[in-house]
Amino acid sequence: MRTITLEKTLDWRAIAAIAGGARLELGAGAWERIDHAARIVAALVDRGIRAYGVNTGVGALADTVVDRASQRRLSRNILMSHACGVGPLLPPREVRAIIAAQINNFTHGHSGIRPEIVRALLALLDHDCIPDVPSKGSAGYLTHMAHIALVLIGEGTAHLAGRQMGGTEALAAIGLQPLVLEAKEGLSLVNGTSCSTGLACVALSRAERLLEWADAIAALTLEAFGAQMPAFGEDVLALRPSKGIETVGSALRKRLEGSGLVAADAGARTQDALSLRAIPHAHGAARDGFDFAAKTVDRELASVTDNPAVAGTPEEPLVWSEAHAVAPALAQALDMLVVAIAQISGMSERRIDRLVNPLVSRLPAFLADDPGAGSGFMIAQYTAAALSNENRRLGAPASLDGGVTSALQEDFLAHPTAAANKLLAVLDNAEQIFAIELLAAAQAQDLHPGKVSRAKGTDVVYRALRDILPRYADDRPLAKDMAAARDLLAASAAPGAD
């Protein structure tokens, strides 16, 4: 098992790896920063220095003083009242990502929780003990992380080795006792952007893989149509400077190099339809958007996102009330990536339509072996259209949703968690749309009347599919093929062009 050591901060790739099962351990400096901040909070408590969520209520109750005897109860009560998520449970991978991002935030040394809290969170990861976290109910943060923290105090439920159990039983199974929280720990366990950032890391991992598959699948479709390659020339694409366009153009040229199918149609048309000719532009824009989102997520992971933040020393403690738990930049970046993925999957649906349409494909109607007796991919294109339309609806920016909560105290909401959840939902749809295009493009190549050869770079893509699925002949439920192709995209990297 891969082990990732956190010294200063993690990046999105590390969080995604931990989400997928890698082990997380902390370096000595990280433990020192955690302990130092905990001692600062203890000093704030001892001196009675007013600090939000330490010796005051939270939200609109920020000016309500909580006496020292009640501060432990405040921490516990925060978890109880904030654990109000609803809806289906998050998958284990996403919960692990949130926990990893949360630990990463604590290691910056400005939260003030004790090391034993972090050790307990690490134990959840080590033993793959997954708190049950409802997926809905967050206007920014709070609810998801409260459900995780419930397990630490012996409440809530978790899944371990495929079985659901109560928090106390789950802790006992991994050798732990329920924790008693001290001042600020309840607030720190629900605060910050760890939820949206962790979900974003999982989404980035999926999006990166999908972008590679998107280019590979598009190349297979281009070949089936005998694409006019001058549109993808290096000098031509350089007229519109973009790292993304350059990358996609290079990938398409490499994939299609030596294609007999493409060579046979060279010069046959002045230009191809835009869903073919503009692949570098749309896929390239998505890649540029991905790079921006990835940088934003890494910046979020490098940031302190607690409120309040503690600093100074136990002898001279400092506490700052601020708004670092609000993440408009993250929400905007994820919204942008939602639009980018929705756009390229919408373009994929347009290519699917061209593949099944005999008016433009020059192939049997709907890629059926026996059109009329068989419908081939007719309704699969309907499915792609429905998913593309759903993505269009999901493209509305979560970062503009707004809302007023906590008696006007929290009267601006950036909704980064909603943006992350939208991105994951769009990726679900996009993976299936591209899987349908892969099926259709391979079928188109099977039905192509010519006897000329594929390029090596597209043949590996074709073979990856045909290794798990034979040509479709209306002889089995097409949904099963679509699911298998989608699993291929989700579980493996696109086969190389070499």
Side-chain half-sphere CA neighbours of 118 within 13 A: 28
**For the chain, what is the radius of gyration of the CA atoms?**
26
What is the chain's mean pLDDT, rounded?
94
The answer to whether domain 200-491 has CATH 1.20.200.10 is yes
Q: How confident is the model at residue 138 (pLDDT cuts 50, 70, 90)?
A: confident
pLDDT tens-digit readout, 320-344:
988 888 999 999 999 999 999 999 9
Query: In angstroms, what CA-CA distances link 149 with 112, 171, 247, 376, 448?
Result: 16, 12, 43, 51, 58
Amino acid sitting at position 482: M
Average the pLDDT over 302-327 and give the result.
92
Model confidence, pTM: 0.96
Is 462 tagged catalytic? no
Amino acid sitting at position 398: A
* pLDDT value of residue 413: 77
* pLDDT value of residue 411: 64
- Provide the residue ranges of all domains of the chain, joining segments of one domain with +: 3-191, 200-491
* pLDDT value of residue 141: 78
- The yes-or-no verdict on residue 407 having pLDDT over 80 is no
The answer to whether domain 3-191 has CATH 2.60.120.10 is no
Average the pLDDT over 303-323 and give the result.
93
Token look-up 């670092």 returns 324
Contact 239, 206 (CB under 8 A): no
pLDDT tens-digit readout, 431-464:
999 999 999 999 999 998 877 899 999 999 999 9
Q: Where are the alpha helices (DSSP H) in 83-193?
A: 92-106, 115-126, 143-152, 167-173, 185-190
Contact 198, 148 (CB under 8 A): no
Average the pLDDT over 385-400 and give the result.
95
pLDDT tens-digit readout, 238-288:
999 999 999 999 999 999 999 999 999 999 899 999 999 999 999 999 999
46 versus 14: the higher-pLDDT residue is 14
Amino acid sitting at position 275: S
Average the pLDDT over 162-173 and give the result.
97
Amino acid sitting at position 149: A
Number of neighbouring beta carbons within 10 Å of residue 492: 11
Token look-up 């099962």 returns 21
* pLDDT value of residue 99: 98
- The yes-or-no verdict on residue 231 having pLDDT over 90 is yes
Which token pair is 453? 């050869």
Spatial separation of the C-alpha atoms in residues 89 and 217, rounded to whole Å: 32
Q: Where are the alpha helices (DSSP H) in 226-278?
A: 234-237, 243-256, 260-264, 274-277
* pLDDT value of residue 498: 59
List the catalytic residue out of 52, 141, 462, 472.
52
Contact 349, 355 (CB under 8 A): no
Helix H or strand E encompassing 408: none
- The yes-or-no verdict on residue 483 having pLDDT over 90 is yes
